[in-house]
Amino acid sequence: MPCPKTEYLIQEYFADDLAPVAREEIEVHFNSCEYCSNELEVLLRSQSDLSQWQDQQVPHWDRGMELFRREHSVINEGRGFWSGWQWISTAVSLAMLAVLLLNVNVVSNEEGFSISFDALGAQNAYLDARMLAFEQGQKEAMDALVQRIEDSQEGNNIELLQVVMEQAQQTTIENLEVIYAYFERQRLQDLEDMRVGYQELVDNDFATIRSLQQIAQFISYQGEIR
Amino acid sequence: MSLIDEDQELVAAAINGSANAWEKLVKRYEGKIYNQGLRLMGNSSDAMDLTQEVFLGLYRNLHRFRGDAKFSTWIFRIAHNKAIDLSRRNRFLPSRTQIEMQEEIDALEAVHGASSFEPEKAIGELQQNNQIARILGKLSIEQRLVVELKVFQSLTFEEIAIMQDVSANTVKTRFYAALKKLKAVSEEYYALP
Ligand SMILES: [Zn+2]
């Protein structure tokens, strides 16, 4: 027959911080009360069924590494991919573009500097050509970069396929892990290539801008002697 | 050096920007969190969501970790809270356990070759785990969490009470009710033809 103490006693029984004396008392009751001992047995079985759990392997994931590297690259390298440097060239480009499009003349004479917006005739054709060349150069550099990334991706995929074919002979969970790791490494390598490529592009911009600066100086010099 | 000290050193190094330390820290706990997720959420995609959210939460709060508590306690607390969030979000979605189990078995069978890999053993384990997850799925999330913390994480009722912000007696009652429910559910299972 049901026992009024079951619930309380079993709850206490599962507490780890139960005083030894109290535990002894509970066990004395369980030994004499069939209802309580049956109930305890069934619940202990439920609990031990749960501990049949076999830990499963975690599927491959990036472990937050990309986020971590991205957010710490500025501190580590001083000049990470997303640090301020690259924007300098863009800012200079914009300023130069304004100078070119508006045909601004910076003329220095005895009264100081003067800025004028009049067309410079002969120089305009030359500047247009330079602008075109500048744009063309930008486009070519970008296309080359994209091509390089695509090529390396393709190369990786072929290589990856070979690895997968080899591994397929003896596929185990470990091997899959190796393939994943390999793929992840390739992906990071591609990112690094992209970064280097972009840096080169930025450096090219600097070279172009320096030559544009020389033109601007030339223009203002022309304006001065006129 | 003890595991606890190592955890603290890894946290400090990760805060200072060591990607290596961060990866070690993740590797050390991802298995525990993922398996906890499987038991609490009942399927691998939700378990993976939980794992990612736990480590993202950990990453965002790494600088708040103080050495006065065990790192493991801290991360399990984050996991506990994320599991509640996630299960509330998923409340109206159908359980995916059944479908996923078949998919996983298919995947295992596709993978198995003439190798040291024992597909039957793996499938057996998977079925057993799925059975456990399915039975746990019949509990409320509060009961499931008490079972998880008591049986799998070996926390005391007092520790669980602090984590869940309830009294130790409430935890004891929940645990007892959970075991009774588990018993009833498994009887129902085995009674089926
Ligand atoms: Zn009794």
- Output the CA A34–ligand 1 centroid distance in Å: 7
All residues at 6 or more sequence positions from B164 whose CB lies less than 8 Å from its CB, including other chains:
B80, B142, B145, B146, B170, B171
Give the residue ranges of DSSP H helices in A102-172.
122-168
- Considering only CB atoms, B151 lies closest to which of A17, A50, A54, namely A50
Between residues B187 and A169, the one the model is more confident about: B187
Our CA-based measurement puts residue A34 at a distance from the nearest CA of chain B, in whole angstroms, of 17
- Cα distances (angstroms) measured from residue B133 to each of A203, B96, B128, B130: 57, 11, 9, 5
Beta strands A105-109 and A112-116: pairing type? antiparallel
d(C-alpha A108, C-alpha A53), whole Å = 84
Q: What integer pLDDT is reported at residue A83 of this predicted model? A: 44
Domains of chain B, by residue range, sit at 3-115, 138-193
User: Does A64 sit within 8 Å of B51, measured CB to CB?
Assistant: no
- Considering only CB atoms, B19 lies closest to which of A7, A47, A69, namely A69
Quick check: is A210 in a domain?
A: no
Quick check: is A34 in a domain?
A: yes
Own/partner long-range contacts of A29-36 (Cβ < 8 Å, ≥24 apart): A29/A5, A33/A3, A33/A5, A35/A1, A35/A2, A35/A3, A35/A6, A36/A3, A36/A5, A36/A6, A36/A9, A36/A10
Quick check: is A46 in a domain?
A: yes
Total number of domains constituting chain A: 1
Quick check: is A40 in a domain?
A: yes
Q: Which domain holds residue A27?
A: 6-50
% of chain A residues with pLDDT over 90: 25
Q: What integer pLDDT is reported at residue A41 of this predicted model? A: 94
Give contacts of A14 with chain B, Cβ < 8 Å.
Answer: 150, 157, 172, 175-176
Per-residue pLDDT tens for B64-113? 887 777 888 889 999 999 999 988 887 655 455 544 555 555 555 554 44
Give contacts of B43 with chain A, Cβ < 8 Å.
Answer: none
d(C-alpha A195, C-alpha A201), whole Å = 10
d(C-alpha A170, C-alpha A175), whole Å = 8
User: Does A75 sit within 8 Å of B48, measured CB to CB?
Assistant: no
Phi and psi, residue B95, nearest 5°: -70, 140
- Output the CA A29–ligand 1 centroid distance in Å: 6
Per-residue pLDDT tens for B105-144? 555 555 444 445 566 777 777 888 988 998 999 999 999 9
- What is the ipTM, given to two decimal places? 0.81
CB B146 within 8 A of CB B171: yes
CB B145 within 8 A of CB B80: yes
Q: Which two tokens stand for residue B69?
A: 């508590």
Q: Which residues pair with A105 in a beta bridge?
A: A116
Q: Vertex A54, ends B132 and B183: CA angle to 5°?
A: 25
- Output the CA A31–ligand 1 centroid distance in Å: 9
Q: pTM of this prediction?
A: 0.59
Candidates B26, B155, B156: best to mutate against A (most CBs of A within 10 A) is B26
pLDDT over 70 at A42, yes or no: yes
User: Does A50 sit within 8 Å of B147, measured CB to CB?
Assistant: yes
Quick check: is A109 in a domain?
A: no
Phi and psi, residue A84, nearest 5°: -70, -20
* CATH match for B3-115 among 1.10.3720.10, 3.40.30.10, 3.40.605.10, 1.10.1740.10: 1.10.1740.10
Q: Which two tokens stand for residue B192?
A: 């089926």
User: Does A54 sit within 8 Å of B19, measured CB to CB?
Assistant: no
Buried b vs exposed e over A118-140: b needs ≥16 C-beta within 10 Å? eebeebeeebeebeeebeeeeee
pLDDT average, residue stretch A79-102: 54
Between residues A163 and A211, the one the model is more confident about: A211
- Residue whose pair of structure tokens reads 């800012």 in the numeric block: A91
Burial of B112 (0-12, 13-18, 19+ CB in 10 A): middle
Q: What integer pLDDT is reported at residue A78 of this predicted model? A: 41
Q: What integer pLDDT is reported at residue A213 of this predicted model? A: 67
The CATH class, in words, for B138-193 is: mainly alpha
Quick check: is A13 in a domain?
A: yes
Quick check: is A35 in a domain?
A: yes
Quick check: is A32 in a domain?
A: yes
Task: State whether residue B118 is helix, strand or coil.
Answer: coil
Per-residue pLDDT tens for A98-126? 555 555 555 555 555 555 555 455 556 66
d(C-alpha B132, C-alpha B147), whole Å = 12
